[in-house]
Structure 1
């Protein structure tokens, strides 16, 4: 784990003031929408299409759509919803319907994931205001990228209303995407945990992917890279059905990749999504002991038994662990996930074996990892320590490259 700690220190040194610590916001965070509300010059005289969902609110929970609708000399003409819909809470492919005839509504999660020429008709500016969770596989980044590309194609201005990365701006972990595995859950050559805001990601995408749209990022005020979500004093709006609470984004990168294999339940289908690892064939005491003996920084594994209400192992008692984060500033979530995979393969080879996994699950596992190298390393018997060590050089290069896109200290 020494390599991981050294990388964390490097990211801290290159991306933040030397005196940065647990920076609780002393002044209210002004989100991009709050800043826009005070000065909306960028939208004056424009017909606006807003890409948003229930997370698109200001620091008093007023919907961004409502705020933009009331701006003088601005006309809101269309709403676009990402995965889970404009209103949130939906699963699978989505169709949208609105209640106002003068504001068209469209889904960008279904058969169509990009705004079409017909959808963009009569729009001068696209505005993106959605809370991301800081993980590459969370599809809001892909939706933003697709919309930026279509904006460039049709010469439409693109405005991003910036928001905090819930994990803060220092944590970086996981392999970089290999563009051979580009997908809706892998849109760009960034690490799984990138430590950037959605506005910073937009700047990176625009240049690194050659999108070159007419991009404006409305910065936040009073946010610092060292701030975790709890430091911002902002209220949390669930970003999707399985990210209901402000601490859930911290667990998502630990177990989300593992969950794609469809072998163990990770709390999805129970009351603790992404916070559990369990299956009927696991010995809870055994796996907890083995994981805790690794002394992974920032986490503790508690024996846990649960019965999912839906999904994998529905109505079957699962045994395993509840993950407790003891230090959000030192833990390395993707690496921890790989140590969990290693432990499952070692303790339960007859149940947890890549040869037993369906092809579709293997494909999705590779896509969320952004590469098939991780799987092949495990199949070759490489320990988690070696898997994690192998992607450290690429992370160091990314830390240097991303500095040109950072908007906050």
Structure 2
């Protein structure tokens, strides 16, 4: 049972929770992200779910610096509200704001699992690793209700479809019954993103993501279950969180992480203005210095989209970050190459094969 921290009684109510009745077939549990009444309150923001019915669920890309060529994003928009999120500009394509709309108007995909079944069962499908959550977090709060991510993992488990995923949420531990067996069979791997160990900074910069402590706990639980798990120190923001690089990697290694990665902050399109606005409000004493250091990693600009350097940046500041990262990763045993997942075990279940395949003896 996940314990829930109650901040205050709902007005006009006696009960402090909304437990599921004992005759119901499913039990709904509140997910504790680790925040308590001692932390700063987050302003209320109503989340609106918008239905999207795409024709396909597997997205493909040809970017040589991404690390995967196919991915699934269960949701568009993200309730975590990370101010630096590179996915924010995608909401502009929907006629919505990359600002608050991105955090509060979430596109859900009720047909996601059915679409994945259809695509994996297609006679021309060629199995490769699928990355889950390459754009927005697959375990954001709306997942508690929709369970779209879980339904997708269930499909991939039936097909022995290898996958990786990345998240900032302790919610990932809910699916250990799938991640554990698939991880032990070299069919799944997980990265947990930890940007800071400072609760105050995390609260304002990533307001609805799990606390840093809960993310470390997620790494431990995944590791204990046999899931290959890594830590993502992303993004590195020079002058704001870069001093924590070694501490984050050390804490993650102690929790059970066996590999690591990092990305230097990038500010494409609308993000540069959103980030600068947040920085001047949340950290006014550092704002000018932070922006100056960011520009020093981008050739004097807020952002450089050149794919050959957009993930790490260039110049002395970026080089120093890279040097420190390599040393820390080696020191804490996080520099092992990421193993290739097993694609040889992929198999279309009998119920998804053409009818005549039932008689061919396979």
Please indicate, yes or no, whether the TM-score normalized by the shorter chain is above 0.5: no
> Normalising by structure 1, what TM-score?
0.26
> Normalising by structure 2, what TM-score?
0.29
